[in-house]
Structure 1
């Protein structure tokens, strides 16, 4: 189970994702922006093992570490090398296998097997990765990890 200020998501034992609450920018992953007061299936055949919520975006990972994100993408937080909102789960760029998935207000991060942390999105005040940029539309390694 994961919660944000205006929506919640959970996973079944079979890895199906369900979300409810605000659906601004498609953050519930059902292909619409319709609000749902009760759990509503995320439109994906992918089996997820973890899920994380930012302010207006959602990210979920499979057991092998493939990451999908959806919702608001104006700051690159979907991680698909664009700033276009996504109403359905969209693969994060880079073919990275990420674990320990987490999301902040406008960004997300995960760890590869070597221990290196990768982040994408907008950090607001401090660069997420070593390139000095506050906004990353694809995963980049965090310096020193």
Structure 2
């Protein structure tokens, strides 16, 4: 996992055979960190909206350097621009998403991806591995293309590699169709070009989150989810799988500003500073024992106002709380400063600087 303080990036957790138990400063050039994403085995940051830097593993070309490497860890280096890369040297980079063995970004309102493409995660109408940025084939979804504003990706396992990007009016997804993650029961192994997700409310998605088999978009203060909703993680009073877009059953009077999905659960952050979660509560992932909850359920009081909560695996996660502290909970690995092998939300502890 990684966090940024505007001009510095710190990461911690699994680093192949060498776990980083406490936040470690990432050696990046000077500049403002305008976007940051931590994937399964690599991470990326955007500096001054001009250049993307990635570090970690590069077995599939996910670092965007025009090659692959068997090394378990590579230090930060810029993603290729111009030359063998479709990404222009003067592009303004708005967002970046590091998934599992692949990466995508938004630059000048266009989508670019690279890395492992066996499940169509690069979105270029092929399943051929790419080691440098290529344009996603959004033109096949909308003639002439469509301006994109944000992007998110799944980083759980190779069978579920997919990305979703938002425009001002729609959300488009591509990659693995496993477990119905693109909003329909899988009839093929991959979707190699972006497809529009039907059934979303009218408006611009302020936030999109990706969980290993589902996604949710926050539009006009409401939450709509698609993919496999088993276990209640859509928050729709239903524990069984569902694939098409469905609206989360939110508490009366609540307005959502962000959602975040883990492996089997999802949390929603509201404008009043409260946090509610639904889905699989195994290992205390929902902060309320091991129950499954099918509608957003008020979480225990946190030591501050939550600004951001994210998690990748069962009972993993982090919550950034005002003023300026980050708290972590994780079941399997040491992250930051921890006190319990199975630490639920109610036992959050601060990270050691």
Say whether the fold is shared (TM-score over 0.5): yes
Does structure 1 residue 118 correspond to structure 2 residue 155? no
Structure 2 distance, partners of 1:24, 1:99, is 29
Which one has the largest radius of gyration? Answer: 2
Q: Out of 92, 100, 104, which is 1:59 matched to?
A: 104
TM-score by length of structure 2 reads: 0.38
TM-score by length of structure 1 reads: 0.90
Structure 1 distance, partners of 2:180, 2:49, is 38
Aligned to 2:164: 109
Q: 1:82 is paired with a residue of what secondary structure?
A: coil
Structure 2 distance, partners of 1:26, 1:140, is 25
Q: 1:125 is paired with a residue of what secondary structure?
A: helix
Deviation, structure 1 residue 3: 0.8
Deviation, structure 1 residue 14: 4.1
CA contact (8 A) 2:166 2:172 kept: yes
Deviation, structure 1 residue 49: 1.6
Does structure 1 residue 20 correspond to structure 2 residue 81? no
Does structure 1 residue 9 correspond to structure 2 residue 44? yes
Deviation, structure 1 residue 87: 0.3
CA contact (8 A) 2:106 2:150 kept: no
Task: Identify the structure with bigger relative contact order (alpha carbons < 8 Å, sequence gap 6+).
Answer: 1
Deviation, structure 1 residue 111: 1.3
Describe the superposition over 1:104-128 as per-residue Cα deviations: whole angstroms up to 9, x where unpaired.
13000011211x2100000320151
Runs of 4+ in 1 over 6 A off after TM superposition: none
Aligned to 1:70: 114
CA contact (8 A) 1:127 1:133 kept: no
Cα RMSD (Å): 1.8
Aligned to 1:32: 67
What pairs with 1:83-94 in structure 2 (closer than 5 Å)?
83-93=127-137, 94=139
CA contact (8 A) 1:130 1:142 kept: no
CA contact (8 A) 1:17 1:41 kept: yes
Deviation, structure 1 residue 5: 2.1
Does structure 1 residue 48 correspond to structure 2 residue 93? yes
Assess, with a 3 A threshold, how the Cα gap between structure 1 residues 133 and 92 changes in structure 2: closer, same or farther: farther
Give unmatched runs, 5+ long, in structure 2. 1-35, 82-88, 140-144, 156-160, 201-353
Structure 1 distance, partners of 2:113, 2:52, is 12
Q: 1:22 is paired with a residue of what secondary structure?
A: strand
Q: 2:60 is paired with a residue of what secondary structure?
A: helix
Q: State the aligned residue count.
A: 143
Q: 1:25 is paired with a residue of what secondary structure?
A: coil
Deviation, structure 1 residue 142: 0.9
